[in-house]
Amino acid sequence: MAYECNPHVPKGPTEYETTTYRSGVPLYKVRTTVVSAHPDCGARHKVGDTWEISGVYEGATKGFICPAALASLWGFIYAMRFGAEFPWGEGPDSCVLVCSDPNTPVLFKIERLKEQPVYLAGKKESGKTES
């Protein structure tokens, strides 16, 4: 029997994502990269492993991230998707955080990828409607 995805999981940007957020606000893709990993990491993360998110729909992520690490990093990832900056970052588009496992810590660099922001509700930052 072939695995079938939940029919309720959207296949592309959802109506919520494209109409609920304030128009003109860019929504960025975010990448996490392992910069340091304990050799006994239960998820077997290695330096250089990446995970990307571009939305909350099926196919919007690439790569693998430990669910426990994702749980501890999610607030920062989500905030960076909407343009947040953190004072401890290497610049306005990145910061380094650690997962919550005190025995086998993994450091992740979180980067906002600015090459293709999505402008919600059909408007760009300038407020001009897209054609």
Q: Is residue 2 part of a domain?
A: no
How would residue 44 be classed by pLDDT, with cut points 50, 70 and 90? very high
Quote the CA–CA distance of 62 and 88 in Å, as a whole number.
26
Predicted TM-score (pTM) of this structure: 0.73
- Do β-strands 50-53 and 94-98 pair in parallel, antiparallel, or remain unpaired? unpaired
Q: Is residue 110 part of a domain?
A: yes
Mean pLDDT of the chain: 79
The tally of domains found in the chain comes to 1
Q: Is residue 108 part of a domain?
A: yes
Range of the domain at 32: 25-119
Q: Is residue 104 part of a domain?
A: yes
Q: Is residue 109 part of a domain?
A: yes
Quote the CA–CA distance of 93 and 128 in Å, as a whole number.
25
- Residue 99 near residue 37, CB atoms below 8 Å: no
Mean pLDDT, rounded, for 107-119: 84
Q: Is residue 18 part of a domain?
A: no
Q: Is residue 19 part of a domain?
A: no
